[in-house]
Chains A and B, each alone.
Chain A
């Protein structure tokens, strides 16, 4: 086996620049069966909502299996319980909710969900930076998610960005919603400002996610402004003009 099979140093150094951009509606085998982390504030429901939207985006259309939603007690106190009338219509009949007294139990439940063939995916909510959730624990989850092919989404409420083995790490916060069609004074459908700050296989980026009939993303205004000013990586801005999934 010759050395030619390996990438050269030059290729390695510019690997990130050639990595594809994340976009909604990517085929599941690209990123669906991975372990993602979403950092969000405990004062809003954006974390869990964005996790659900990303999960649904990854499932595709004909997924019928149940979804496990795990909350530890602190997260439950901070942001409340799932409310069935408000859940996305595709998930209403399929959510199984688990209350874990401690973060260890929540991690156990997530790992069991990954090992189960009857779950389409699992969503965990853990508040703060508990000791149990260290790099080893996150690596366990990442390996389990990849081995068994069950996507896991872990929402970290009011947490610091510690070392983690998550394949995609997002920072999510609420964004002003697009005005609804009929009543301009009313809040519209959900929208989030999502920053993919670390990902395996994708370039980092910032988007405004819009939870319509399907998840859609447009680059965040701040990023656009930067690109238009020509500061930093000016060329990249044109690569992802207003991506809407088909």
Chain B
């Protein structure tokens, strides 16, 4: 008994980026915001480049791959919107899961395609032509423009979807019809296509017409996208091309349906503690720890109260989770009662099983860092507990950024040793009134917050220029001085601008940092 022939369906979302942008704008094709020429642009090393253009823009002359400035020269009214490749990919992943309605085995074909294995199941839809019709109709309902094809191999299906007739179906043994397709249908890199074009090879049939040895000598790379022979073999089914399936991983979810709706806090705490224990079991069986937990409370009147919790490190300690949620349940209005409580681990990370501390009880109940940070975060809010990290900038207040305490530190150049910096920086530099300045330029006496300071010792100036690539042309430079006053108090002050720099009036003085 022989297996039925393999059948692969390729779905090409030809205008994925534009379609997604249109969904976000909430307009139909050619209406509303889509009536004007719009280009989705991405940043490259050479400037802004167009990734995708809507129909109006195409008619006006803009093309994907153009620089934005060139396109503006053709069509001055072109509106530029940032493209979102990561969002497109995430959408494609969700779409691949949804596409499992046509076949149990779907794979991504980034950036804008899907491959579905439809071997031996087209009869469920009434035949392959009806299957393709169903795909187009359902995609049209979602306002996605697609091109589809079914062929015995993934390569052939891809080629037909991109370069073949609409809704093409290739029966096994009909591979000769592929010879008329352009060589670009082989899924090759642009450089390889350029070489083929220079060799005068335009159709797939012309490639097969030349001896294999000649190709083997010229294209030695083992990567399929750089080697026309490998691609040709994949197209004709001589080389296997496995499809990596998309598998949905449902988040860990536990729930309690309550026979009697609860209206009291103690009972709710009890239920949450039980749910936390269930969740710990569930996560343990998966070898995971939760980073974000959502707690949904369904009330009798149909209202849903949601509380979510973000944890500093992956954990599945039920007592810890219950305690953190307890701090968030104080303002719950139970109404006529809560009948369903559901806990979901929306974000989980791998967490191996660990040996429990045998003398944990004797360890005087001291907490770990992650537990302590979770407690602080739940009470004070996520932005209250942070860690300073260096950032590449010359401007002092931009040279430091804040991030979550347990996040890995970004790579940075270490601070220069000869830069003396203050221990603390005011959130906003405060203006000081200079009463008497020396001829050198630094103040001798100044007034800050109503008190008089007599400067005794000075080091400076350290000149810090504005970052011209970021700031406006009128931004003024700063001359920083480290000073000590007559009582030994040490400050970091700066003068904004120079006399006669043409960027405003007389320079002003600010106090920005307090030294130790």
Contact between chains at B489 and A83 (CB < 8 Å) = no
Q: Is A113 an interface residue (CB 8 A)?
A: yes
Looking at the assembled complex, report how far the CB atom of A178 sits from the nearest CB atom of chain B, in whole angstroms: 11
In the complex, which residues 263-280 of chain B have their Cβ closer than 8 Å to any Cβ of chain A? none
Contact between chains at A190 and B380 (CB < 8 Å) = no
Contact between chains at B366 and A148 (CB < 8 Å) = yes
Which of B415, B448, B488 meets A175, CB within 8 Å?
A: B488
Contact between chains at A97 and B424 (CB < 8 Å) = no
A86-B424, A93-B409, A99-B384 given; A52·B367 CB < 8 A: no
Contact between chains at B369 and A119 (CB < 8 Å) = yes
Which of A79, A80, A86 meets B421, CB within 8 Å?
A: A86
Contact between chains at B371 and A83 (CB < 8 Å) = no
Looking at the assembled complex, report how far the CB atom of B224 sits from the nearest CB atom of chain A, in whole angstroms: 45
Contact between chains at A177 and B422 (CB < 8 Å) = no
CB-CB under 8 A from B367, the residues of chain A are 112, 115-117
> Which of under 10, 10 to 19, 20 to 34, or 35 or more describes the interface residues of B?
35 or more
Chain A residue, CB-CB nearest to B515: A45
CB-CB under 8 A from B514, the residues of chain A are 44-45, 79-80
Contact between chains at B449 and A80 (CB < 8 Å) = no
In the complex, which residues 174-231 of chain A have their Cβ closer than 8 Å to any Cβ of chain B? 174-177, 183, 185-187, 190-191, 193, 211
Complex Cα distance, B383 from A117, in Å, reads 23
Q: Is B292 an interface residue (CB 8 A)?
A: no
Contact between chains at A186 and B457 (CB < 8 Å) = yes
Q: Is B79 an interface residue (CB 8 A)?
A: no
Complex Cα distance, B427 from A211, in Å, reads 26
Contact between chains at A49 and B372 (CB < 8 Å) = no
Q: Is A66 an interface residue (CB 8 A)?
A: yes
Complex Cα distance, B515 from A76, in Å, reads 15
Complex Cα distance, B364 from A147, in Å, reads 9
Q: Is B390 an interface residue (CB 8 A)?
A: yes
CB-CB under 8 A from A109, the residues of chain B are 376, 380
Contact between chains at A108 and B400 (CB < 8 Å) = no
Which of A43, A108, A185, A211 meets B516, CB within 8 Å?
A: A211
Complex Cα distance, B409 from A193, in Å, reads 36
Q: Could you say which of B52-60, B165-173, B239-247, B479-487 contacts chain A? A: B479-487
Which of B385, B400, B422, B456 meets A98, CB within 8 Å?
A: B385
Which of A85, A112, A118 meets B419, CB within 8 Å?
A: A85
Which of A52, A82, A112, A147 meets B388, CB within 8 Å?
A: A82
Contact between chains at B400 and A83 (CB < 8 Å) = yes
CB-CB under 8 A from A79, the residues of chain B are 424, 426, 514
Chain A residue, CB-CB nearest to B455: A187
Looking at the assembled complex, report how far the CB atom of A113 sits from the nearest CB atom of chain B, in whole angstroms: 7
Contact between chains at B490 and A83 (CB < 8 Å) = no
Contact between chains at B425 and A81 (CB < 8 Å) = yes
A82-B424, A116-B368, A187-B482 given; A95·B387 CB < 8 A: yes
Looking at the assembled complex, report how far the CB atom of B460 sits from the nearest CB atom of chain A, in whole angstroms: 9
Number of A-B contacts (CB under 8 A): 168
Contact between chains at B386 and A46 (CB < 8 Å) = no
Contact between chains at A96 and B387 (CB < 8 Å) = yes
Looking at the assembled complex, report how far the CB atom of A61 sits from the nearest CB atom of chain B, in whole angstroms: 21
Q: Is B389 an interface residue (CB 8 A)?
A: yes
Q: Is A27 an interface residue (CB 8 A)?
A: no
CB-CB under 8 A from B459, the residues of chain A are 183, 185-187
Looking at the assembled complex, report how far the CB atom of B53 sits from the nearest CB atom of chain A, in whole angstroms: 45
In the complex, which residues 89-108 of chain A have their Cβ closer than 8 Å to any Cβ of chain B? 93, 95-101, 105, 108
CB-CB under 8 A from A82, the residues of chain B are 388, 423-424
Q: Is A48 an interface residue (CB 8 A)?
A: yes
Chain B residue, CB-CB nearest to A148: B366
Complex Cα distance, B379 from A49, in Å, reads 28
Q: Is A15 an interface residue (CB 8 A)?
A: no
CB-CB under 8 A from B409, the residues of chain A are 93
Q: Is A84 an interface residue (CB 8 A)?
A: yes
Contact between chains at B375 and A112 (CB < 8 Å) = yes
> Which of under 10, 10 to 19, 20 to 34, or 35 or more describes the interface residues of A?
35 or more
Which of A76, A86, A105 meets B379, CB within 8 Å?
A: A105
Looking at the assembled complex, report how far the CB atom of B453 sits from the nearest CB atom of chain A, in whole angstroms: 9
Contact between chains at A84 and B457 (CB < 8 Å) = no
Q: Is A87 an interface residue (CB 8 A)?
A: yes
Interface string of B395-409 (1 = CB under 8 A from A): 010011010010001
Contact between chains at B369 and A44 (CB < 8 Å) = no
A82-B388, A83-B425, A85-B400 given; A185·B458 CB < 8 A: yes
Contact between chains at B515 and A190 (CB < 8 Å) = yes
Contact between chains at B424 and A80 (CB < 8 Å) = yes
CB-CB under 8 A from A96, the residues of chain B are 373, 385-387, 405
Q: Which of B366, B369, B379, B423 has the most CB of A within 10 A?
A: B423
Complex Cα distance, B483 from A185, in Å, reads 10
Q: Is B441 an interface residue (CB 8 A)?
A: no
CB-CB under 8 A from B384, the residues of chain A are 98-101
Contact between chains at A86 and B405 (CB < 8 Å) = no
Complex Cα distance, B513 from A186, in Å, reads 16
Looking at the assembled complex, report how far the CB atom of A196 sits from the nearest CB atom of chain B, in whole angstroms: 19
Looking at the assembled complex, report how far the CB atom of B40 sits from the nearest CB atom of chain A, in whole angstroms: 38
Contact between chains at B451 and A43 (CB < 8 Å) = yes
CB-CB under 8 A from A185, the residues of chain B are 457-459
Which of B390, B458, B484 meets A84, CB within 8 Å?
A: B390
Contact between chains at A83 and B372 (CB < 8 Å) = no
Q: Which of A50, A66, A95 has the most CB of B within 10 A?
A: A66
Which of A85, A115, A148 meets B399, CB within 8 Å?
A: A85
Which of B363, B387, B422 meets A83, CB within 8 Å?
A: B422
Which of B364, B425, B458, B488 meets A176, CB within 8 Å?
A: B488
Complex Cα distance, B225 from A149, in Å, reads 62
Chain B residue, CB-CB nearest to A150: B366
Contact between chains at A98 and B369 (CB < 8 Å) = no
Complex Cα distance, B385 from A99, in Å, reads 7
Taking A53-B516, A87-B423, A187-B459 as known contacts, 19 extra A-B pairs with beta carbons closer than 8 A to each other, sorted by chain A number, are A45-B516, A80-B425, A80-B514, A82-B423, A83-B422, A86-B516, A96-B373, A112-B372, A112-B375, A112-B376, A115-B365, A115-B366, A117-B363, A118-B369, A148-B364, A174-B487, A185-B457, A186-B457, A190-B516
Which positions in A face B, CB cutoff 8 Å? 43-46, 48-50, 52-53, 66, 76-77, 79-87, 93, 95-101, 105, 108-109, 112-113, 115-119, 147-148, 173-177, 183, 185-187, 190-191, 193, 211
Which positions in B face A, CB cutoff 8 Å? 363-369, 371-373, 375-376, 379-380, 383-390, 396, 399-400, 402, 405, 409, 415, 419, 421-427, 448-449, 451, 456-459, 482-484, 487-490, 513-516
| 6 nearest CB pairs, A to B | A49-B516, A45-B514, A186-B459, A118-B369, A187-B484, A86-B421
- Pick 19 A–B contacts, CB within 8 A, sort by A: A45-B424, A49-B515, A52-B516, A53-B516, A79-B424, A80-B424, A82-B423, A86-B422, A97-B386, A98-B384, A99-B380, A100-B380, A105-B379, A109-B380, A112-B372, A115-B372, A116-B371, A177-B457, A187-B457
